[in-house]
Structure 1
Amino acid sequence: MTAKIEVTASGAEPAPSVPRATVTGGTRGTGAAVVRHLREAGMDVTVVARTPGEGEAVRFVPADLADPVAAREAARLVLAEGAPDVLVHVAGGSQSPSGGFSALGEEEWARELDLNLLSAVRLDRELVPAMIERGRGVIIHVASIQARMPLWDGTLAYAAAKAALRTYSKGLAGQLAPHGIRVNTVSPGGIRTEAADQLVDRLAERLDGDRDAAWDALGAALGGVPLGRFATPDEVAGVIAFLASDGAASVLGAEIVVDGGTVRTV
């Protein structure tokens, strides 16, 4: 997204305003990569996350977006700096035990839905009115190919929440398009992140601690990755940065899959 030009009342030389971006879950993994890419694109970035990161000169708003009260307070702090031009929801993940439906109780389902669906819904609800008032903006929801290919053993509730996020994003895109706001979804497949390592650790517990076997099982559950490897956080972030740019001005209501060819259907 290019810088907007503000004309001064005195008629002096117009000054470019720096686009504002807000990234949830932006302190590690894919979220941290998104922050780097948006900063390289010249954006002023605010990160909303539970814990601060290291080495990034960005504005940090501490919040657990799974908590509705914390989400409202985070939105208030973001809006104190002005409505964001770009809002990227990366926050998500799964900490539920393996074992499928029988291992998931009310607490596990509530936690997965709060983090992977409702955290985005809550922040959108608070920030979108200001974006509508200004008449422009970009919202990007990070879902997962598990919305189409759920892994029942380790991440069933996560997959269900991401499927709901994908549907919500598509509906929101239609509602906000007339207001100049583009909404899109990016659905990664496997990404080599700390969260992926944690999932492998949980799967390894069922395989006598064999992490290599757990990685093989994870790839097999996905039906294999034709590219031969999982994506890197920077590869996913590059797609998100493109969707946030003016180069994607006509891309709206789309789902961009970044999975090394794992999803073989059209």
Structure 2
Amino acid sequence: MTTIENVSHTRELAGKRALVTGGSRGIGAAVVHQLLDAGAQVLTTARSATNTIPDGSAFVTADVRTQAGAQALAAAVHEVLGGVDILVHNAGGARPHASASAIPDREWQDALDLNLLASVRLDSLLVPGMRERRSGAIVHVSSAAVPTAAPQFLHYVAAKAVLQTYSRGLALDLAVAGIRVNTVSPGRTATPGGEETWQLWARMDATAGDTVTAIGTTPLGRDGQPADIADAVLFLVSDRASWLTGTNLFVDGGEFPRG
């Protein structure tokens, strides 16, 4: 008789080296904790140091919105880790506006630099080492709100939409080298930064407040927790997802439509 045994995934990433951007709090910090618990050596980064940086991880300050910042971070990766096997792009964000036409040009550029080009630049700098080893796992953190194209966040969701397309194309490009590229798209998640953003949106006017209330209601009846997203990231970078590449995993409690 065939029996099914419980399989423990503890220390499944032992010997792996990982970079997590935006890892000082919220989703990023939860991802760092998960990777550390699974045995990986982790370097994380943010624009400034805080007292919430996960114990056990290495940390450097970096502004990934610029080419110079990406180059400095890549140099730190090689100095601290000697290279990476796992790359998780979590840094991102933007502030809402009353309408799409109210978003200033400089914030469009900032949204593209932080939510799209930071990933493109770091990938180009760190993928060559993965190619040499013919293995690697990359996860880009996008947003489940992309299909809604909310006008107040149009700069953000537009950048994340392109990030999803870029991820699919990069996955096809790197598959022959044994490198997997996937995207995780969180819905509303209970993080300090997320709550600040929702509250700002709600204060804009009554209409925006109604929108926030509707978006915050999920079929599963609760907001996501950072650990919910981190669990998905851990799965995608592990060997359990060895036949997954070019996919976009919605982690939103059924909140947003699928396109």
Q: TM-score, normalised by structure 2?
A: 0.89
Q: Is 1:245 aligned to residue 238 of structure 2?
A: yes
Give the distance between the partners of 1:20 and 1:48, measured in 2 at CA: 14
Match of 2:247 in 1: 254
Aligned counterpart in structure 2 of residue 203 of structure 1, from 189, 192, 201 = 201
Shift of 1:185: 0.4
Count of matched residue pairs: 246
Match of 1:184 in 2: 182
Q: Give yes or no for contact 2:224–2:253 (8 Å, CA) kept in 1.
A: yes
**Distance of 1:56 and 1:150 partners within structure 2:** 37
Give the aligned partner of residue 159 of structure 2.
161
The residue that corresponds to 2:8 in the other structure is none
8 Å contact 1:146–1:163 — kept in the other structure?
no
- 2:7 maps to none
Structure 1 unaligned regions, length at least 5: 4-16
- Is the counterpart of residue 63 in structure 1 residue 72 in structure 2? no
Structure possessing the higher radius of gyration over alpha carbons: 1
- Asked if structure 2 preserves the Cα contact closer than 8 Å seen for 1:147 and 1:166, the reply is no
Matching residue of 1:20: 17
Match of 1:133 in 2: 132
Report the secondary structure of 2:148's partner residue: coil
Which region of structure 1 is more displaced relative to structure 2, 115-124 or 143-152?
143-152
Instruction: Verify the 8 A CA contact 1:190 1:196 in the aligned structure 2.
Output: yes
User: Cα distance, 1:223 vs. partner?
Assistant: 8.4
Output one character per residue of 1:11-55: Cα deviation in whole Å (capped at 9) or x when no partner.
Answer: xxxxxx721011000110000000000001000000021122435
For residue 63 of structure 1, report the CA deviation from its aligned partner. Answer: 0.4
Q: Please tell me whether the aligned partners of residues 219 and 225 of structure 1 are also in contact (alpha carbons under 8 angstroms).
A: no
Distance 2:216 2:199 in 1: 20
Secondary structure at 2:145's aligned position in 1? helix
> By how many angstroms is 1:163 displaced?
0.2
Shift of 1:265: 3.6
Q: Distance in 2 between matches of 1:219 and 1:120?
A: 31
CA distance in 1: counterparts of 2:104 and 2:201, whole angstroms: 19
Instruction: Supply the distance in 1 between the matched residues of 2:91 and 2:198 (Cα, whole angstroms).
Output: 19
What SS does the aligned partner of 2:244 have? Answer: coil
Compared CA separation, residues 156 and 91, structure 1 to 2 (3 A): same
Which letter maps to 2:237? A
Letter in structure 2 aligned against 1:93: G
Q: How far off is 1:233 after superposition? A: 0.4
Q: How does 1:37-76 map to 2 (within 5 A)?
A: 37-54=34-51, 55-76=54-75
Q: Residue 79 of structure 1: CA displacement?
A: 1.7
Shift of 1:2: 4.3
Identity level (%): 44
Alpha-carbon distance between aligned partners in 2 of 1:219 and 1:265, rounded to the nearest angstrom: 20
| 1:217 alignment partner in structure 2 | 211
CA gap of 1:200–1:2, structure 2 versus 1, over 3 A, is closer
- Tell me if structure 2 keeps the 8 A contact 1:79–1:127: no
Shift of 1:201: 2.4
Distance 2:216 2:34 in 1: 31
Q: What CA distance in whole angstroms lies between the structure 1 residues aligned with 2:33 and 2:182? A: 20
2:188–2:216 Cα contact (<8 Å) kept:
no
Name 1:172's counterpart in structure 2: 170
The code of the aligned residue for 1:171 comes to G
1:229 CA drift (Å):
1.7
Deviation, 1:87, is 0.3
Task: Say if 1:49 and 1:64, in contact at 8 Å, map to a contact too.
Answer: yes
CA deviation profile, 1:119-158 (whole Å, cap 9, x unmatched)? 11111110001111111000000000122122212x1100
Unaligned runs of 5+ in 2: 1-10
